[in-house]
Amino acid sequence: MHLPSMADIAREAGVSRNAVSLALRNDPQIAHATRERIQAIADRLGYQRNPAVGTLMSQMRRRSSQGSLGTLALINANHDRNAVLDHPTIPDYFNGCRTRALSLGYSVDSFWLHEPGMSGNRWKDILQARGIRGILLIGMMKQNRIPECLYPSLEQIPCVVTGVRTRRPAMSFASVDHYILSLRAFEKAIDLGYRRPGLVLDQEINDLVEHRFSAGYASGQLLLPPQDRIPPLFDVHASRVDPGIFRRWFETHRPDVIFTLYNVVRTWIQDLGLRVPQDIGLIQLEWRGNRPEWAGMKQHNDLCGSVAVDMLLRMIHNGECGIPPFPIATLIGPTWVDGSTVTYPG
């Protein structure tokens, strides 16, 4: 007899497994109506939670009202100290981590990885003195490598990375599924009637996510005849200096919709005398509330932070630390947000 799992519920509800997990815990990060729908599906399928996990989480919540269960370190790994305040995505990771940790009874301390004069031993001493039980590393933006000054601490304190996969060393991480995000955006564009999608993306960003943006785009292109498959433009940084680079790419390939992360692309389009969306569509690959008029994909970076905390607490409970022999990856799926930068059938 097959016992229903969270994956079964997720498939039935059309949501991610992580969304199911949060909904079954009645987590307010999931909308009330969605929580009720997921819980109803779980009841109908006869899902039963793992009693050991349920007991552990209940104990953690009950003890949280009696005082902190310990302290987690939120380490800003970005080279900009203020990235936790003004970066487009890093504040969402931070807030997701902080909110989830506090809701489960843990306090948090914030650090900047690139603080001057911090050796490996200095980091280890500070984290031990603060009673840090786990590390959440946020904002990796350079070559996916953790600086060696943190290695001594990683041998003694469990760590989860948010946002990207690290290679040296390879740690467990929670991230947006950039491949699926790009592919779903492509599929949505086709559903809307577009036939010549183009991608405008900085090469450094694509490298950071191990080419998953461009891989999803390439997979989407298989839906089109070869003559409609447009090569991506990766020269965004150079185009900011010389918009002629974008103009030449556009005039050569004539896309009818563009996927991008950058608002400046709209300016370049308008400088060519074109109207959005009448002449060309624009789809934002990281939809944000400060540009609500854009259509695009919402990445749920706050949920990545929340899930990273859950991963870290599981490691703490199991006594895991050091560089994992088999790093675990949790990928969060995107959702589409309607906007006025594309046209709709009918």
Q: Read off the amino acid at residue 281.
A: G
Q: 278 is written with which tokens?
A: 């009448």
Question: Are both 239 and 195 inside the same structural domain?
Answer: yes
**Per-residue pLDDT of the chain in tens (346 residues, 90 and over written 9):** 567 888 888 888 888 776 787 788 776 667 778 888 989 998 888 887 765 555 555 555 555 445 678 999 999 999 888 888 888 889 999 999 999 999 999 999 999 999 998 999 999 999 999 999 999 999 876 667 898 999 999 999 999 999 888 888 999 999 999 999 999 999 999 999 999 999 999 999 999 899 999 999 999 999 999 999 999 999 999 999 999 999 999 999 999 999 999 999 999 999 999 999 999 999 999 998 888 999 999 999 999 999 999 999 999 999 998 999 999 999 999 999 999 999 999 7
Q: How many domains does the chain have?
A: 3
Question: Are both 289 and 189 inside the same structural domain?
Answer: yes
Predicted pLDDT at 302: 95
Residue 105 lies in a domain: yes
Residue 235 lies in a domain: yes
Q: Residue 154: which domain range? A: 68-176+300-334
CA 128 – CA 309 distance, rounded (Å): 19
Residue 62 lies in a domain: no
CA 309 – CA 1 distance, rounded (Å): 33
Residue 202 lies in a domain: yes
Question: Are both 288 and 191 inside the same structural domain?
Answer: yes
Predicted pLDDT at 64: 46
Question: Pairing between strand 295-298 and 335-337?
Answer: antiparallel
Of 336, 265, 257, 340, nearest to 297 by C-alpha is: 336
Question: Are both 203 and 232 inside the same structural domain?
Answer: yes
Of 171, 183, 317, 202, nearest to 265 by C-alpha is: 202
Question: Are both 171 and 310 inside the same structural domain?
Answer: yes
Distances (CA, A) of 193 to 71, 135, 196: 51, 46, 10
Question: Are both 222 and 172 inside the same structural domain?
Answer: no
Q: Is the bond preceding residue 231 a cis peptide, omega within 30 degrees?
A: no
Question: Are both 288 and 323 inside the same structural domain?
Answer: no
Residue 260 lies in a domain: yes
Question: Are both 123 and 133 inside the same structural domain?
Answer: yes
Of 174, 126, 209, nearest to 315 by C-alpha is: 174
Residue 111 lies in a domain: yes
Question: Are both 171 and 99 inside the same structural domain?
Answer: yes
Question: Are both 144 and 290 inside the same structural domain?
Answer: no
| 3-state SS, residue 107 | strand
Question: Are both 116 and 187 inside the same structural domain?
Answer: no
Measured between its terminal Cα atoms, the distance across the chain in Å is 47
